[in-house]
Amino acid sequence: MNTSYLESHPDENGYFGKFGGSFIPPVLEKPFAEITQAYKEIKNSPEFINELKYVRKHYQGRPTPVTFAQNLTKHCGGAKIYLKREDLNHTGAHKLNHCMAEVILAKHLGKKKVIAETGAGQHGVALATAAAYFGLECEIHMGEVDIAKEHPNVVRMKILGAKVVPATHGLKTLKEAVDSAFEAYVKDPDSTIYCIGSVVGPHPFPMMVRDFQSVIGFEAKEQFMEHEGKLPDNVIACVGGGSNAMGIFSAFIDEPSVKLYGVEPLGKGEKLGDHAATLTYGEEGIMHGFNSIMLKDAEGNPAPVHSIGSGIDYPSVGPEHAYLKEIGRSNVALCNDDEAIEAFYTLSQLEGIIPALESAHAVAYAMKLAKTLPADQTILVNLSGRGDKDIDYVIEHYPVPNAKF
């Protein structure tokens, strides 16, 4: 019959419909062609697959479980809520899934050094971890604002042996970190490889990162079947660049009965600059080397963005999310800062799981949706990471609410 969705998307040139592609300076054309070629070669090589399987099982601690959130389900009074526990992946978030694979690819290409941007510091920590494990140098670019906000992750990166370079221009957050990292990469693309932190950037990164993250979805599908004997009715993930969402969506795109929800950060409200709800309020545009939906300011440049989740405040989004929304396969939902904080505390106090503020957006929407559905319906949430990195920030700005019991 039909080839699977994953095999047929993106096309040869990295397009998902009109989104994606590769808009890069001429000096990067050769290194990117090299990366595309290398990925094509190793993607089906038993050696690569075995090495990846080995590190996932014996180093990362995969498979991560799927947990039935019994108390949260009771609290919401509707559909059953399940959590895919990427908070239990080594380093505390899903990002190590693609970092380990990207560094194996870097090794295969004979690179000496990996370079990347980071928002909340999770990608930086994950890449520094993978680089330490495989013995490569690591340089991480991070906005000065995020450096102050995410201090523990900055310390972790340094302890892991990475060099942390502050991005000091503009809003000094994720977008500026990407600019800064690209600038450094362009100067030395021969011995270095850029390891993008999400399903964004020029082809082949949106495809590669999706493929490496799809382990989340394929594990979860099997594990969910074990719990319920059927597929989930709804799958929910937060969307910054969109890698944890594409990771869990991947296994369900070809299952039309499964509704897919990407949750975007509404931040402080719908005014431009107060949120990072790109798919909801953005328009088509090219930034960071790919065509997608982006938030633009009056001059058409990337707009300032805000979210309490440092890993999801990005003014564009992975091209595949723009495509899935356009063809009607995925739904886009919203969650603001306050709702995320409420979900952060609710999950902590009802389930003993402190979620990352990013993941709390997905939990918040799951709680909202669960209340509208009958008890025989199910929701699978991708809990993309743990909240240890956020506890100091939360406790300072949003003191613990009155105990629930």
Ligand X SMILES: *Cc1c(COP(=O)(O)O)cnc(C)c1O
Choice among 117, 176, 219, 320 that is catalytic = 117
Binding site for ligand X (CB under 6 A): 93, 95, 120, 122-123, 198, 238-244, 311-312, 356, 358-359, 384-385
CA atoms within 13 Å, Cβ hemisphere of 81: 31
Whether residue 384 lies in the annotated active site:
yes
Choice among 80, 95, 149, 175 that is catalytic = 95
What's the min distance (Å) between Cβ of 357 and ligand X? 8
Distance CA 290, CA 355 (A): 31
Return the residue matching tokens 């090794």. 107
> Torsions phi, psi of 239, nearest 5?
-125, 115
What's the min distance (Å) between Cβ of 385 and ligand X? 2
What's the min distance (Å) between Cβ of 380 and ligand X? 16
Whether residue 95 lies in the annotated active site:
yes
Closest residue to ligand X, judged by C-beta, is 385
What's the min distance (Å) between Cβ of 215 and ligand X? 14
What's the min distance (Å) between Cβ of 197 and ligand X? 7
- List active site positions: 95, 117, 384
